[in-house]
Amino acid sequence: MRRRRSIKILATLGPGTSEEARIAELFEAGADVFRINMSHTPHDLLRTLHGRIRAVEERFARPIGILVDLQGPKLRVGEFADGKVDLEEGATFVLDASSKPGDVSRVHLPHPPVFKAAEAGHRILLDDGRIRLRIEHASAKRLECTVEIGGKLSDRKGISLPDTLLPFGAMTDKDRADLDAAVNLGVDWIALSFVQRPDDLAEARKMTRGRAYVMAKIEKPSAVERLDEIIEMADGLMVARGDLGVEMPLEAVPGAQKRITRACRHAGRPVVIATQMLESMISAPVPTRAEVSDVATAVFEGADAIMLSAESAVGEYPIEAVATMNRIAEKVETDPVFANVIHAQRTDPEPTGPDAISAAARTVAETLKLPAIVCYTSSGATGLRAARERPDRPIIALSPNMATARRLALVWGVHCVETEDARDETDMVDRACRIAYQEGFARPGQRIIVTAGVPFGTPGATNMLRIAFVGSDKLGEG
């Protein structure tokens, strides 16, 4: 099954889309990777969903990526004696270490590290930013605040501290157990929540031991400030616009999205744009015009993937949401402006042999208008380099490792095929031509460009570029 677009689509699975038949429908509608949210998924359901996705993968004979999204630390206030209070603007409100039920003047904050890190002048956001406090005095067990934006506050509502670098890592005991279960199953990507600094990725990388790629979710201002360092440590990034929009001014989020996308493209790291892309389709069969423009903007920016959350997990129109996103992406990528924007944002290749080969392959393919670029990639690095170039020709990534093919299912413009590694140069050319034909990219009489590494089977050794003729004598089975 060949997609008619380069950007990829992630669909979150949920109660309405957890059956194998529905997963197959989502895939046929355009989903390339499936997200499993561990905030709502016990391990037995994780195993079930994994098995169903792999069954769909076998049915369609196409590599499908699986992304497991870890919950991360959840900061919440305690409980109130009456279940809720109404905070008035200008009033004093205290967060303290006492476990007694709260009232209109105070509430329990069951997170001791917050008291150590918070300082006078820092903001505290409650209930997804609906209520805003400003810390006036901070001590080891008490934060005395002024209510800047009031409202109703009920038990166990979430708390965010956008100005505070919290002194704990991104993973909880639950996250460690979830990560261990996920990588033992063989999922392809682990998305890490609550990333504040590059060091937050170290534990996840140590636990995965290369068995899955690690994606940093950028949802805090402190992560944006240290973006380049985090990109260096991560295998990919997700622009988690929902949480970013709580912790920084809403008007600052679009600029942050563009900055993150361009930084990832420059570094050759996959980047996913997430949250509320087609939010109205949770309950409506068509999106708003603004949502269509939002999705189109991510496509124009050259993001690797766009993601559906509640739209496909609990929405009334999950298949329609994926199909709508697919149509938007296809239309944008055929717009004459698209090629100009992608070209204008292209960055120079790194001064390495493999990067130079990938850049040369793009130039030759575009100059000669070849139907495809075929790259042999064992570890996935060559596929990532080819995608970094954002060519206007399709990329066919041939890999002997199914795990690599599945991970690359998230990457811009890459059509993944599992196949044996080439035995020699003749086999390299014949196999590339045959697969390009069988997958519907090239016809007899056309030429393709092929990149590989010699000696064959050596990861990261891309050093060869060939223009190959697709002749009818090379299109047999085998």
In DSSP terms, 397 is beta-bridged to 375, 416
Work out the pLDDT band at 383, boundaries 50, 70, 90. very high
With 0.75 as the threshold, say if the pTM is over it. yes
250 pLDDT above the threshold of 60: yes
Q: Are the beta carbons of 214 and 234 closer than 8 angstroms?
A: yes
40-72 residue pLDDT tens: 999 999 999 999 999 999 999 999 999 999 999
* Residue 275 annotated among the catalytic residues of the structure: yes
Region(s) of the chain under CATH 3.40.1380.20: 353-474
DSSP states along 144-213: EEEEEE-EEEETT-BEE-TT---SS-S--HHHHHHHHHHHHHT-SEEEE-S--SGGGGHHHHHHHTTSSE
Q: Is residue 129 a contact partner of residue 153, using CB atoms and an 8 Å limit?
A: no
Q: How confident is the model at residue 456 (pLDDT cuts 50, 70, 90)?
A: confident
Tokens representing 41 are 């998924």
The pLDDT of residue 476 is: 55
User: Edge-to-edge, what's the strand order for the sheet holding 447-453?
Assistant: 414-418, 395-399, 373-376, 447-453, 462-469
Q: What residue type is assigned to position 14 of the chain?
A: G
Residue 206's pLDDT is what? 96
User: What topology is assigned to 353-474 in CATH?
Assistant: Pyruvate Kinase; Chain: A, domain 1 (3.40.1380)
Q: What is the pLDDT of residues 77-88, one digit of tens each?
A: 999 999 999 999
Question: Whole-angstrom Cα distance, residue 111 to residue 108?
Answer: 9
> How far is Cα 361 from Cα 345, in angstroms, rounded to an integer?
18
pLDDT digits (tens, 9 = 90+) for 411-439: 999 999 999 988 899 999 999 999 999 99
Predicted confidence band at 457 (pLDDT cuts at 50, 70, 90)? low
Tens-place pLDDT, residues 342-367: 998 888 888 888 899 999 999 999 99
In which residue ranges of the chain is CATH 2.40.33.10 found? 84-160
Is 76 one of the catalytic residues?
Answer: yes
**Residues with Cβ < 8 Å from 299, sequence gap 6 or more?**
7, 306, 328, 329, 332, 333, 338
* Matching CATH number, 8-72+170-336, of 3.20.20.20, 3.20.20.70, 3.40.50.720, 3.20.20.60: 3.20.20.60
User: Hey, how many other C-beta atoms are within 10 angstroms of the C-beta on 232?
Assistant: 12
What does the pLDDT look like over 439-449, one tens digit per residue?
Answer: 999 999 999 99
Alpha carbon distances (Å) from 178 to 17, 184, 403, 417: 21, 10, 20, 29
**Annotation: CATH topology of 84-160:** M1 Pyruvate Kinase; Domain 3 (2.40.33)
Diameter of the chain measured on Cα atoms: 82
**Which position among 5, 8, 22, 35 bears the catalytic label?**
35
Distance between CA 271 and CA 276 in Å, rounded?
16
Q: Of the listed 3, 54, 74, 76, which one is catalytic?
A: 76
Which of 17, 275, 382, 451 is catalytic? The answer is: 275
User: Which tokens belong to 274?
Assistant: 């997430």
Q: How far is CA 70 from the centre of its chain?
A: 12
The rounded distance, in Å, linking the Cα atoms of 205 and 218 is 17
